[in-house]
Structure 1
């Protein structure tokens, strides 16, 4: 099948889509199954490429993974084993998950291997702090041409660790290593995103002892064994917000079944400030949030991305397309990833008026100030978007390009569209269901 999606834009998206479990939780909970000595089950798992990649890695290490009905995944880790370097390297560059397998594999096997990591090219995502933490736990890290070999001849031991920045990945790493480390681990300046809290819920179901204190402090008391779990992940708040932004940009009306208000409060406030309307449906077993463009002019806003409970960095790219249709000057200050505005060049080719700046155009100077990164954007609108050929650079930017093509007049050819499958389940069928005119 061609990796090019032909989009005839200019029509509002109307109808209903469903979001399943959060991509940023599901893959990490899959890793956690390696720690247990019993069967684990997850429900409402999205059929996306990231899940397939992690499943492949788990199966290489002897975990039996099978699908049940309605998005159920079943994991049997009773025969965890050491995988070959060449086999692991097949997955090199396709995901950043292998780094999170280190703690669980060190606990189960005493050894772990990390190939070259992949993921979206949106700025520095160094693994140095992961390795530093693992060394503090007691791991020995040896560099080799094919990757990194880790061992823990004396096991892992609890540590006190303070993150310079509340990184989600580093927090996950420390949680997964600490739950079976001897003694107590205290993590300061931890990330507290909803997906992190949900991962803690998973680990607690397995038998972990984890206390979330105030001021971003998490205390983990190591235990000798963990069992399996049954868990329904929180819904994917990134996908939900992406569809909301698509409704706003195309002047449409989309009911996002499964979207949850509590996880999206910061986004919902911004959505309303721009002039969008939403309605929360709390019906048992079938609720969600309806998002729509009420007509009239959208309003420009100023916002800054930040760690939770701030405005999520993965929300900004799709929303910027909607802001290109707002009346006035909007300002977006990106404080999480330093290279996240590369996608705006393609939007400008479509008629948007977006300028990016090195300065911190926000209320608080961030860690990228005076470092030469163009991490602030000014969006002038409303702009009439026209069709063009687009090449998708990464997952979230790719969905923003797709929204722009849907909002633009005329036929756009969107290249590299399969990358969107990493995080958006069955998105083409969903678009067709919303009335989009698309074809391969």
Structure 2
């Protein structure tokens, strides 16, 4: 039976946009060692979480960025490849990590969280996750968790490599993008797996084990690269993945797998060569800093004509994004694991084209549109990765942004100031972008459904306050429903 098609407009597994059902970390069993959210941290039937910010703020100060969510989730999956205790530090304190912990528990692992030492003022914002992986793993990931976290599809490769069979619920459709599991399936089939779909599950079997293969990806898919990489490290022979994704998060996974005993060449290039080994060992590994969060603060500083130092992430991962800030008139100073952005005038218009890494990251497109909305002149923004990334521009227009879209392109004509309005977050990055745009608006802006933001920014409101913003988080009543 063929793999069920992904619905039109669905995102590649591992991207930032998921169905808006909101998940409370307090509801995930065993989120031990990590403070549970208070009543304002959950999206509930009784109300909708909202961030309220006062416009006119100039961001100034220092903000520390913790580990990348998109890396930490896959590092947790990679731990499945080696029986024993692995410890992953610098893991962001967000709901997605809690859900991934529960996915691993249901596969038979023991998972616990402890706070990392805080960096800078305030409470710890990162954790260490300890994963005890048994010799005999479960091989099924249920829909009730996969639907909440599309990235949990990344257990497909490790479980197939370890168990010889796997059933993972098909994650279904998301709000953006058009790529599904085709490249994952085709690559695993080349490695000797029999892959099918049944009753909403992706089912893969390789009773005689996986073998090396040469695999060409039609697109440098991050999710497919990760799954095939993790499957290949225990396969017999040599696997070569051509047109592989090159993101820093891929390099981070390669580094952890190499620590575990994997033989990998070409990390950070478009060709990965993996020589399979018989077994891997558990390790300790620190998650790479989150370049998307770092880039968010870079654009926020430029939009508000601020002065912000960002620590915890290498500016090398943000070369094009920081270059756009410079082109807009900003001053950028860099160090090994930090950078500073200063803007002392109204930004100039800058064109942006999203591309796979090392191109401009699609996850920073909402921030690029926000910068263009307050810049002097007109900017052309082109989205090449996800079909529906411009979904949020109607909310930006409510703030007074002058945006016209046509397919993959948006023309943004900058205005001196935006105007406050109630708006709704549609995904992680759009939500953050709307809050920051609100800082450039007259009056008070309210952004609702900010449980999305929680999935990518561990302490967003606290960081805003530390940078001089008057911001608060409240729960607003759920909209009244009507019926005939």
TM-score where L is the length of structure 2? 0.82
Question: SS of the counterpart of 1:15?
Answer: strand
1:156 aligns with 2:206: no
Q: Deviations over 1:376-421 (max 9, x none)?
A: 1111113421111111111111111111122211122211001111
Could you say which residue in structure 2 is the equivalent of 1:276? Answer: 330
Could you say which residue in structure 1 is the equivalent of 2:85? Answer: 39
1:209 aligns with 2:263: yes
Give the conservation status (yes or no) of the 8 Å contact 1:94–1:119: no
Residue in structure 2 matching 1:328, options 360, 374, 377: 377
Residue in structure 1 matching 2:301, options 226, 238, 247: 247
1:14 aligns with 2:60: yes
Which whole-Å CA distance do the structure 1 matches of 2:172 and 2:373 have between them? 31
Give the conservation status (yes or no) of the 8 Å contact 2:246–2:268: no
Could you say which residue in structure 2 is the equivalent of 1:292? Answer: 342
Q: Deviations over 1:120-153 (max 9, x none)?
A: 5221131121112122222223322242222222
1:379 aligns with 2:412: yes
Give the conservation status (yes or no) of the 8 Å contact 2:158–2:227: no
1:349 aligns with 2:398: yes
Which whole-Å CA distance do the structure 2 matches of 1:434 and 1:125 have between them? 38
Give the conservation status (yes or no) of the 8 Å contact 2:251–2:267: no
1:81 aligns with 2:131: no
Could you say which residue in structure 1 is the equivalent of 2:430? Answer: 397
Q: Deviations over 1:138-172 (max 9, x none)?
A: 22233222422222222111111101111111111
Could you say which residue in structure 2 is the equivalent of 1:426? Answer: 459
Give the conservation status (yes or no) of the 8 Å contact 1:34–1:80: no
Aligned pair in 2 of structure 1 residues 100, 84: CA closer, same or farther (>3 Å)?
closer
Which whole-Å CA distance do the structure 2 matches of 1:203 and 1:188 have between them? 19
1:72 aligns with 2:128: yes
Question: SS of the counterpart of 1:338?
Answer: coil
1:337 aligns with 2:386: yes
Q: Deviations over 1:20-79 (max 9, x none)?
A: 111121111110000012321222111112211211111111111222341222211125
Cα drift, residue 251 of structure 1: 2.1
Which whole-Å CA distance do the structure 2 matches of 1:227 and 1:215 have between them? 25
Aligned length: 417
Question: SS of the counterpart of 2:258?
Answer: helix
Cα drift, residue 80 of structure 1: 4.6
Could you say which residue in structure 2 is the equivalent of 1:24? Answer: 70
Question: SS of the counterpart of 1:121?
Answer: coil
Could you say which residue in structure 1 is the equivalent of 2:44? Answer: none
Could you say which residue in structure 2 is the equivalent of 1:192? Answer: 246
TM-score where L is the length of structure 1? 0.90
Question: SS of the counterpart of 1:341?
Answer: helix
CA-atom RMSD in angstroms:
1.9
Which whole-Å CA distance do the structure 2 matches of 1:118 and 1:261 have between them? 35
Which whole-Å CA distance do the structure 2 matches of 1:144 and 1:248 have between them? 50
Which whole-Å CA distance do the structure 2 matches of 1:176 and 1:438 have between them? 42
Gaps in structure 1 of 5+ consecutive residues: 358-373
Give the conservation status (yes or no) of the 8 Å contact 1:94–1:118: no
Which whole-Å CA distance do the structure 2 matches of 1:343 and 1:166 have between them? 25
Which whole-Å CA distance do the structure 1 matches of 2:212 and 2:358 have between them? 28
Which whole-Å CA distance do the structure 1 matches of 2:136 and 2:316 have between them? 37
Question: SS of the counterpart of 2:411?
Answer: strand
